[in-house]
Amino acid sequence: MKHFIFLLIVILSGISQVHACGKYPIIPYPKSLQAMEGYFILKNNMQISVPFENKKVHQIADDFTKKLSEVSGLYLSISQDNTKADIIFTKDNSLGNEAYLLNIAPERIVVKAATPNGFFYAVQSILQLLPAEICSPDFIGNHVIWQIPCAHIIDEPSFSYRGMMLDVARYFMPKQYVLDFIDRLAAQKINYFHFHLTEDQGWRIEIKKYPRLTSVGAYRPYTQTGYKHFHAPVIPDEVEHQGFYTQEDIKEIVAYAEKRYVTIIPEIELPGHSSAAVAAYPELSCGIKKEYEVVKNFGIFDNVFCPKETTFQFLDDVFTEVAALFPGKYIHIGGDECPKTAWKQCKHCQLLIKELQLKDESSLQSYFIHRVEKILNNKGKQLIGWDEILEGGLAPNSTVMSWRGEQGGIEAAQAGHPVIMIPNADTYLNYYQEDPEFAPVGSGSFLPMEQVYRFNPLSTLLKGKLSQYVLGTEAALWTPYMKNPQIVDYYMYPRFYAFAEV
């Protein structure tokens, strides 16, 4: 796996040549890069100075020296003294929150930033300027010259929110893969990992108060593969599928991400896409069916949460545990693709609509999301939902992820809500990128690399006054049909690099 990624990085370092003519393969390309003559050549026993107190920045310098010595055998020491250091970290409070400045000259590298985030990103850029062998899983030693091309770089992200979503619910992805995934996000300066943890096909996070969510909800006896009778014939695979992250796993993943300046946003889907939850606890449903199961195919299902007080209590309990595990301010509650069939047939739901004088089932969905927002806000968290949460009226403090094109984002911004632009046609990396005849089975649409590259989250309507509400963008990897990490990697690359540029 590591060899595969290494090979990929070597091949793809070519992509940045669009911008950088090969000498400065930094992705995303810095805001400003002035090329200079010559190289800074790393040598054994060079010194890095970090002449100020900041544990996180010292850690960043330390991690850099460790990575360097593992692959190159060069040892750099870290000191507080900057008089004769070769690489100097300097605190510069005039720079923005995630900005950095790099001055690379033959005799010295000066790194400036105001925050650990900025220093971390400066180091990511230095790593990308080193020979590609720095990514090697094997020891390289002095087979290459460990040199960095001279330049004056000023860099800062265009958006404060730069996200990547991974669906681990359709197919569970091993913890080690998730950790590696976070490394790859961080290298490309992605700062949010949207962790899609629950679905119709599986519940993937341990909740201590509700053990059946994982003992029942994390398992399915087989999976329907393919969706049409051509390149992707519909056949059950007759393979059991299961897996979930224990709370200890989650703590490890969160700590790992924190060290790489990636904030994790857990997504717990409601009121739809909840077959696995109602299979585990059928009393959370409207009770329309005799039996609920973790579903074995892909689509939109009627097995939704019923807006009863016991359901809200359940969600409150679940979010108590989720909020304690994830230190970030956001929790994603899904909100997309919730069919109203069950609510239409449910006596409780119909009575509730009358009692609350709601217009219809869409207003009931809005009521549901408002209730959940209160639960989250009481725990100090902010709600994010897919753009369906606009239907029937937005919850007051919510942030909208606009996935069905740009319209949802425009409406939310017009209502003064923060938005994250993730229009599926431009950002769903699970869409095909080549002829389906040659690709592993993916979701039906087509999204070539150049379209990702061209995507602008600030569309014509959002670019004026409304742009202040656009926090940024995100790319998605939905995993129906993606049975394993190798297939996810196939879909992620090379388009992830184009997305990072965006």
| Residues found near ligand ACM in the complex (CB under 6 A) | 336-337, 386, 403
How many angstroms separate the CA atoms of 414 and 412, rounded?
A: 5
How many angstroms separate the CA atoms of 177 and 287, rounded?
A: 38
Q: Is 137 exposed, middle or buried (CB count within 10 Å of its CB: 0-12, 13-18, 19+)? A: exposed
Pick from 383, 212, 389, 209: nearest CA to 313: 209
Kindly tell me which of 345 and 445 has the beta carbon lying closer to ligand ACM.
445
Pick from 8, 7, 25, 4: nearest CA to 16: 25
Kindly tell me which of 269 and 501 has the beta carbon lying closer to ligand ACM.
269
Asked whether 189 and 126 are in contact (CB, 8 A), the reply is: no
The DSSP 8-state label assigned to residue 282 in this structure reads G
Closest CB 308 distance from Zn ion, rounded Å = 7
* Contact partner, 40, from Zn ion, ligand ACM, none, Cβ < 5-8 Å per class: none
The answer to the question of residue 306 lying near Zn ion (CB under 5 A) is yes
* Contact partner, 169, from ligand ACM, Zn ion, none, Cβ < 5-8 Å per class: none
Pick from 197, 167, 169: nearest CA to 181: 167
* Contact partner, 349, from Zn ion, ligand ACM, none, Cβ < 5-8 Å per class: Zn ion
Kindly tell me which of 264 and 315 has the beta carbon lying closer to Zn ion.
315
Closest CB 375 distance from Zn ion, rounded Å = 18
Kindly tell me which of 51 and 405 has the beta carbon lying closer to ligand ACM.
405
Closest CB 423 distance from ligand ACM, rounded Å = 11
The answer to the question of residue 111 lying near Zn ion (CB under 5 A) is no
Closest CB 428 distance from ligand ACM, rounded Å = 7
* Contact partner, 286, from Zn ion, ligand ACM, none, Cβ < 5-8 Å per class: Zn ion
Kindly tell me which of 19 and 348 has the beta carbon lying closer to Zn ion.
348
How many angstroms separate the CA atoms of 190 and 264, rounded?
A: 11
x/- string (CB under 5 A) for Zn ion, residues 285-304?
A: -x------------------
Kindly tell me which of 259 and 348 has the beta carbon lying closer to Zn ion.
348
Residue with token string 């409150």: 316
Q: Which of 91, 296, 348, 483 binds Zn ion (CB under 5 A)?
A: 348
* Contact partner, 346, from ligand ACM, Zn ion, none, Cβ < 5-8 Å per class: Zn ion
- In the region spanning residues 255 to 284, those forming contacts with Zn ion, defined by CB under 5 A, are none
Kindly tell me which of 63 and 337 has the beta carbon lying closer to ligand ACM.
337
Q: What is residue 244's three-state secondary structure?
A: coil
Per DSSP bridges, beta strands 161-167 and 192-196 are parallel
How many angstroms separate the CA atoms of 101 and 120, rounded?
A: 11
* Contact partner, 306, from ligand ACM, Zn ion, none, Cβ < 5-8 Å per class: Zn ion
Closest CB 408 distance from ligand ACM, rounded Å = 10
* Contact partner, 403, from ligand ACM, Zn ion, none, Cβ < 5-8 Å per class: ligand ACM
* Contact partner, 411, from ligand ACM, Zn ion, none, Cβ < 5-8 Å per class: none
Among the candidate windows 97-105, 175-183, 305-313, 418-426, which touches Zn ion by CB under 5 A? 305-313
Question: Which residues have CB under 8 Å from 459's CB, separation 6+?
Answer: 406, 410, 421
Q: Which of 205, 346, 471, 492 binds Zn ion (CB under 5 A)?
A: 346
Closest CB 24 distance from ligand ACM, rounded Å = 36
Q: Look at the chain and count its residues.
A: 502
Residue type, 33: L
Phi, psi dihedral angles at 334 (to 5 degrees)? 70, -110
Pick from 441, 210, 443, 199: nearest CA to 303: 199
β-partners of residue 198 are: 203
Q: Which of 111, 218, 349, 498 binds Zn ion (CB under 5 A)?
A: 349
Asked whether 74 and 68 are in contact (CB, 8 A), the reply is: yes
- Strand ranges in 389-442 using DSSP code E only, listed in sequence order: 399-402, 419-421, 431-432
Closest CB 334 distance from ligand ACM, rounded Å = 8
Kindly tell me which of 158 and 424 has the beta carbon lying closer to ligand ACM.
424
How many angstroms separate the CA atoms of 264 and 169, rounded?
A: 16
Residue nearest to ligand ACM (CB): 336
Residue with token string 């509650």: 333
Kindly tell me which of 171 and 386 has the beta carbon lying closer to ligand ACM.
386
Q: What is residue 482's three-state secondary structure?
A: coil
Closest CB 477 distance from ligand ACM, rounded Å = 11
Closest CB 464 distance from ligand ACM, rounded Å = 27
Kindly tell me which of 319 and 478 has the beta carbon lying closer to ligand ACM.
478
Neighbours of 142 (CB within 10 A): 10
Peptide bond into 30 cis (omega under 30): no
Residue type, 489: D
Kindly tell me which of 346 and 390 has the beta carbon lying closer to Zn ion.
346
Where along the sequence are the contacts to Zn ion (CB under 5 A)? 286, 306, 346, 348-349
